[in-house]
Amino acid sequence: MTFQPEKVGDFIAAFESRKELIAAFEGCSGVDLLRDMGQTNIFFTYSKWQNETALEKYRQSELFQSTWNEVKQWFNDKPGAWSVTKL
């Protein structure tokens, strides 16, 4: 996610205030916030889910919807998302 530079602090605060709630969501086994080393307004959230059903349940939750509605206004570019599997 690429944020408006002046909104980076707001995003970090929003993530930190919800991190434990996300990690405690049923089916989540961890969530981290990663920051690009070169462009400090680019972030990635990395979360681990038991399965796709658990992830989709989270995406439909009030927690995700309220968080997304808050942070999307701070984007500086279209966000991307990937679901991956460990080999």
Task: Say which CATH number the domain at 53 has.
Answer: 3.30.70.100
Q: How many domains does the chain have?
A: 1
The rounded distance, in Å, linking the Cα atoms of 16 and 18 is: 5
Number of Cβ atoms within 10 Å of the Cβ of 51: 9
Tokens 């919807």 — which residue? 65
- The verdict on residue 86 lying in a domain is no
Q: Give tens-digit pLDDT for 1-49.
A: 999 999 999 999 999 999 999 999 999 999 999 999 999 999 999 999 9
Structural domain harbouring 24: 5-74
Q: Read off the pTM.
A: 0.89
Q: Residue 48 — φ and ψ, nearest 5°?
A: -115, 130
- The verdict on residue 31 lying in a domain is yes
Report the candidate in 53, 34, 48, 45 with the shortest Cα–Cα distance to residue 80: 45
- The verdict on residue 82 lying in a domain is no
The rounded distance, in Å, linking the Cα atoms of 3 and 6 is: 8
